[in-house]
Structure 1
């Protein structure tokens, strides 16, 4: 599978502060390009699988025309953070030496508030479709994972997507299942154009596009203790899972429509 896409790689130069509202303890950092980034650590929570979800979800959202801050690979030197006083943070930094994932920091952005901020039906349908395709459990009223920046809606945090990869068994059948947790999606009631968006997105997401995004996953993130599969074999599972799910989109679209009624 060839790729014609790429992500920039930066070197983390400064740890600014932890963002403790995130369950995986992401952090605001600065890199050698003088930009600030929200850094997701390979040593946190679900580790590299969370980073893979972020990468696939974010780049697929960008391809489909949704707003998402730039993603970059972020290198963390083994000596980074040795002077950090907080032991929990220092342990996290030590466990995250090497390649991590970071998202461009949108300075001045505010959290999306569904009670006061309106989203049109087409945009809502695009976001709901993508989240049910990716089985993203974390875009709810409690935690919208959306920002308003420059008066536009931006998506963040796909780390809770593709949860099938936490248990490889039966992934083929899992690809064909409805996503029942879509009932809790913050934009579900506005998503009245799911059928239209389903046709549009299925025509756009070609096997070549899926391949190019999945091939962005570094080999370094694909050496897992819970499987004997090689990095390329793991990539193939991601590709086949998403391909099968796309071919059977009627299942998850109908489930989303039923949940909205």
Structure 2
């Protein structure tokens, strides 16, 4: 069995600036390896659940062949941020001490503009398929969560995926259920090759690879929500969700096709 690469761990050395306004307040930061990162804080918004979704969504996307910035675990020292003048940011930094998640910062990348930039129909279809798989609600015209860098399309920000983990009792129903929010997907009008995308991507995601990706989730993140005291049990739910969702790929592909027919 091929082993997927593990994530590196870096230590954040400098908070540079917030990347955008919003509840999660991601930041541009520098780490001890000399690189800059888009830092996602476990003390913000949906806390560890957003980081879990970011980790799983990003690594699944990478496995399926998409361009995704390197994900790393990012340690925040207890003393980090004491000199920060903004009280809200200082509270965020204090509440995020320990292990966080960061994406390698793509310098001079530009946000994808759906009105000015076109995407190949097969690539668009593959991205829609990915977002159907992981139930990602946040790839819309308002917030595309895609970047153009070196003339290539890169996927970022999967923290809003895996809706089921906000209501654990419904995970099986969510895995097999419909995902009507796909009608708002920014690339759905371009996604004219969904059947082809399904045929290409579905074989790439196996139970072994799902298990390997899920095993990357730190136990402390899994236990932080208090749903269970057994991290392995919670990791098993993520694996089971993905396996069941994957088994229903033909159904959600048809759902995406139907949604596209309704919007074009």
State the TM-score, normalized to the length of structure 2: 0.96
Aligned to 2:258, the other structure's residue is in SS state helix
Shift of 1:70: 0.5
Q: Which deviates the most, 193-202 or 85-94?
A: 193-202
Q: Report how many aligned residue pairs link the two structures.
A: 261
Partners of 1:224 and 1:180 lie apart in 2 by 30
Q: 1:76 to 1:243 in 2, by over 3 A?
A: same
Partner of 2:242: 242
Contact 2:58 2:68 in 1 (8 A): yes
Partners of 2:22 and 2:69 lie apart in 1 by 17
Aligned to 1:213, the other structure's residue is in SS state helix
For 1:23-53, what per-residue CA distance to the aligned partner results, in whole angstroms no more than 9, with x for missing partners? 4100000000010000000000000000000
Partners of 2:10 and 2:212 lie apart in 1 by 21
Unaligned segments of structure 2, at least 5 residues: none
Shift of 1:21: 3.6
Shift of 1:170: 2.2
| Displaced runs of 4 or more, over 2 A | 1-5, 20-23
Partner of 1:103: 103
Partner of 1:224: 224
Partners of 1:224 and 1:66 lie apart in 2 by 30
Aligned to 1:53, the other structure's residue is in SS state helix
Partners of 2:30 and 2:64 lie apart in 1 by 28
Contact 2:70 2:103 in 1 (8 A): yes
Partners of 1:136 and 1:240 lie apart in 2 by 17
Shift of 1:246: 0.5
Shift of 1:179: 1.0
Q: 1:4 to 1:147 in 2, by over 3 A?
A: closer
Unaligned segments of structure 1, at least 5 residues: none
Q: 1:224 to 1:178 in 2, by over 3 A?
A: same
